[in-house]
Amino acid sequence: MTTHSQLIGKYVFIDNLHYDPRDGYYGGIGLCKSLEGTLFTFITKFGQIHTTTIDHVTKIIDVTEKQKFQIGDEVKAIVDYIGPYHESIDDYCKVTGVKSFCNDIEYELMVIKSGKTIRSPQHNIRTKVTMPIPKYASGARIGVKFMKGCQYDYWYEVENGIITNIDIWYSGVKYTVKFDSGKISTVEEVVITTPIVIKTPEEKKLDEKTFLIQREQQLLAELEMTRKALYRN
């Protein structure tokens, strides 16, 4: 049996919390604030004050929902719905306020791009986010991997270039690159690598000569092994 002392500071369901001239009394959740004689004073989610006796309290509500986000947090949340099927639109927001009543937690969010303020229940917030830190600086010389071929037979080629601009957003970092060929393109971090070394004509000739000498030595060694095997028999 519920006692008077158990109700103070508790969320409870009250069967006569609201009144409609057409439908009469109907129930709702209230927070028990005080007791004066045999009358309890309750406050509703919308700040309305209601007074009733313990006979109209049907149960104590367990508060199971916990606040997951704090003021100042940056989050990804549902900010609107579109289309006949009410498809959700996500955007990045900053938490500017929070109100809780029983298991109903509502946040005030500022949409970062537009500055628009919206109210959102906790279940509409996807996750907490942070602004990424770019790995490369503007002006850095980099290599960019480009896939060649087709899905069944492909390889990567690297083109060198200079980072001319960095676009930082919660979804990732994008770099504007001016390539040595003169073309300009925007790329993501995942395709950036160490720039390839471009050799001079003299260096290329030296590499070719070194390769031929090494190949000659390899063939001579194979020839010597063949001769030894031949005369041994």
Q: Which residue did the predictor score with more confidence, 35 or 104?
A: 104
End-to-end CA distance of the chain: 108
For residues 207 and 204, what is the distance between their CA atoms, to the nearest angstrom? 5
Nearest CA to 164 out of 182, 190, 191, 146 is that of 182
Chain CA centroid to CA 146, Å? 27
For residues 32 and 82, what is the distance between their CA atoms, to the nearest angstrom? 40
Q: Where are the domains of the chain?
A: 4-60, 74-128, 141-193, 206-233
Reported confidence tier of residue 2, pLDDT bands at 50, 70, 90: low
pLDDT at 3: 60
Structure tokens at 217: 């030595």
Fold of 4-60: SH3 type barrels. (2.30.30)
Q: What percent of the chain has pLDDT over 90?
A: 55
Average pLDDT, the chain: 89
For residues 46 and 55, what is the distance between their CA atoms, to the nearest angstrom? 23
pLDDT at 130: 95
Q: Which residue has the tokens 């509703």?
A: 44
Length of the chain, please?
A: 233
Instruction: Please report the DSSP string for the chain in residue order.
Output: ---HHHHTT-EEEEEEEEEETTTEEEEEEEEEEEEETTEEEEE-TTS-EEEE-GGGEEEEPP--------TT-EEEEEEEEETTTTEEEEEEEEEEEEEEETTEEEEEEEETTT--EEEEEGGGEEEE--PPPPSS-TT-EEEEEEEEE-SSSEEEEEEEEEEEEEEEETTEEEEEEEETTS-EEEEEGGGEEPPPP---HHHHHHHHHHHHHHHHHHHHHHHHHHHHHHHH-
What b-and-e string marks burial along 22-52, b requiring 16 or more CB atoms within 10 Å of the CB? eeeeeeebbbbeeeeeeebebebbeeeebeb
Confidence check: pLDDT of 87 > 80: yes
pLDDT tens digits for range 58-71: 888 999 999 999 99
Confidence check: pLDDT of 1 > 70: no
Q: Which amino acid is at 110?
A: M
Q: What percent of the chain has pLDDT over 70?
A: 97
